[in-house]
Structure 1
């Protein structure tokens, strides 16, 4: 049976071009990566404002109803319009982020913080590496895990704590779990 150290070392990638060219690629520091993550969520949250406002407006039409009455509530066209606008804004933001990440290896937050995602050769990993493997696969897995009663939330919390700790492991090239899945690095984009 392999001991923990052997298993840990087996997850490390072989020496790659990015490790050979440290003068060309500088690993992004944890502060920049955390700031980029927060920026992405703050910008994305703005798209949710009309959606939430619209849902509140629609719910207001139901709030004064007697549950035993057969009268249909009067739905606000304003609320429905806001809900639809919110949905379009969220979808537009997600598509914009996916295209940006596919073409440049940068989300909007990473672009603002001047960092980018590269593969083992120092190239842009494209849609498969940045969007699919780093974003969709882990988040889809976490969504499924969240449905597990009692422990789903604990597992999700552990995932994000592990990623946060991994940002500070310079001997592991600051690769988070998403980076290990996609075989990517986050470097300064200067």
Structure 2
């Protein structure tokens, strides 16, 4: 009985991967994926500016103004995070992905929703990376290694350019 279940499971996975190819979706280019990450990162960095301004003001006599700037940054970053989570959940696209015409889909070509795009691809992946990054002496190497692995993986056509996050959530990034 066990052999039958194992054979069925491996066939089911192959069928799912073939289904996405039968739908003739086009994989997002590595450059589109890199561009989307850069756009999202740039916006996030800009939203951190009030935090830095506020932190700098905390040492001056304008401590209250510093707290205000830190609060502004916190509100902006929270709003940005919620906006991105809603976009990813509804369309499989962050703002960067939307601007570059790519999206995240399941292996069957469906929208992965909140669980696939936000929870698994972003939150769980980053929690795992953060925990591994806390390992003394190895943490930095693990973080750098993961970044290099992701960069290499998006150029591998044989694996449908799937990254560690895509494997965790069973997703692909395709042209919208």
Same fold (TM over 0.5): yes
Say if 2:162 and 2:172, in contact at 8 Å, map to a contact too. Answer: yes
Instruction: Give the whole-Å Cα distance in 2 for the aligned partners of 1:150 and 1:85.
Output: 35
- Give the paired residue count: 163
In structure 2, the gaps of 5 or more residues are 1-9
Q: Which residue of 2 aligns with 1:115?
A: 102
Say if 2:23 and 2:109, in contact at 8 Å, map to a contact too. Answer: no
Instruction: Give the whole-Å Cα distance in 2 for the aligned partners of 1:181 and 1:127.
Output: 14
| 1:1-190 correspondence to structure 2 within 5 Å | 13-16=13-16, 17-22=19-24, 25-58=25-58, 60-61=59-60, 74=61, 76-189=63-176
Instruction: Give the whole-Å Cα distance in 2 for the aligned partners of 1:121 and 1:145.
Output: 31
In structure 1, the gaps of 5 or more residues are 1-9, 62-73
Say if 2:121 and 2:165, in contact at 8 Å, map to a contact too. Answer: yes
Instruction: Give the whole-Å Cα distance in 1 for the aligned partners of 2:127 and 2:96.
Output: 21
SS of 1:148's equivalent in the other structure is coil
Alpha-carbon distance, 1:120 to partner? 1.3
Instruction: Give the whole-Å Cα distance in 1 for the aligned partners of 2:84 and 2:76.
Output: 12
Q: Which runs of 4+ in 1 moved over 3 A?
A: none
SS of 1:122's equivalent in the other structure is coil
Normalising by structure 2, report the TM-score.
Answer: 0.89
Q: Which residue of 2 aligns with 1:3?
A: none
Normalising by structure 1, report the TM-score.
Answer: 0.83
Larger Rg: 1
Say if 2:106 and 2:170, in contact at 8 Å, map to a contact too. Answer: yes
Which one has a larger percent helix, Structure 1 or Structure 2? Answer: 2
CA RMSD of aligned residues (A): 1.2
Alpha-carbon distance, 1:150 to partner? 0.6
Alpha-carbon distance, 1:75 to partner? 5.0
